[in-house]
């Protein structure tokens, strides 16, 4: 076969895939999102259920890390009190760039039913949030959906560039 007649773009042709470095990096990043296990209240139970066998975060490449320094996603699951806010920020700061945040459940989004003196009215007062996940408590498939949307968001980003400073609130 003459060389000029080969259609490289055909999938079932030669074992060649054409892509860009950007896309490769995005694909790699989005499919190995390690989450810092950060359960604060009842939502943490749903987060554990999402990590467990039935919903299985592992097939998305999401593994819960006990250390923030190995993780790139922070799933804030539960009520954030003002006493704890300082530590949340510290954990967020110790995560390496690039990093993303999923705020899970009503309490993390807006303070939820705890419209009181001791609860932070939304974690976005402390850390920039990428995805807000409504529900009280959200079911595991909802968290799974949030993760898939986050993956989609990451695939759109340009990895060559430094992450744009995210807006706080």
Give me the helices (H) in the chain, please.
Answer: 21-30, 43-51, 82-94, 105-110, 140-156
Tokens of residue 166, six digits: 């995210």
What is the C-alpha radius of gyration for the chain, rounded to an integer number of angstroms? 19
- 136 labelled ligand-binding: yes
**Binding-site member from 22, 25, 27, 48 for other proteins (CB under 8 A):** 27
Instruction: For other proteins, give the closer residue by CB, 44 or 120.
Output: 120
Closest to other proteins by CB, 48 vs 149, is: 149
The values of phi and psi at residue 145, to 5°, are -60, -45
Q: Which of 34, 45, 65, 121 binds other proteins (CB under 8 A)?
A: 121
Q: List the interface residues with other proteins, window 64-103 (CB under 8 A).
A: 82-83, 85-86, 89
| Options 5, 117, 160, 161; binder of other proteins; rule CB under 8 A | 117
Q: Work out whether 55 is an interface residue with other proteins (CB under 8 A).
A: no
Q: Which of 163, 131, 167, 160 is nearest to 148 (CA)?
A: 131
Annotated binding residues, written as ranges, equal 42-43, 107, 136
């Amino acid at each position: 076969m003459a060389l000029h007649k080969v259609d490289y773009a055909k999938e079932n042709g030669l074992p060649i895939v054409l892509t860009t470095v950007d896309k490769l990096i995005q694909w790699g990043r989005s499919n190995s999102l390690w989450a810092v296990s950060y359960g604060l209240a009842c939502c943490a139970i749903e987060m554990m259920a999402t990590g467990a066998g039935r919903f299985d975060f592992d097939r998305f490449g999401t593994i819960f890390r006990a250390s923030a320094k190995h993780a790139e996603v922070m799933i804030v699951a539960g009520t954030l009190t003002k006493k704890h806010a300082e530590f949340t920020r510290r954990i967020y700061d110790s995560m390496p760039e690039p990093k993303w945040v999923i705020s899970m459940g009503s309490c993390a989004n807006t303070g939820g039913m705890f419209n009181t003196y001791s609860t932070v009215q939304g974690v976005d007062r402390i850390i920039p949030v990428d995805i807000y996940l409504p529900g009280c408590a959200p079911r595991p498939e909802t968290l799974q959906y949030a993760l898939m949307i986050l993956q989609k968001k990451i695939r759109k980003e340009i990895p060559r560039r430094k992450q744009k400073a995210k807006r706080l609130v």
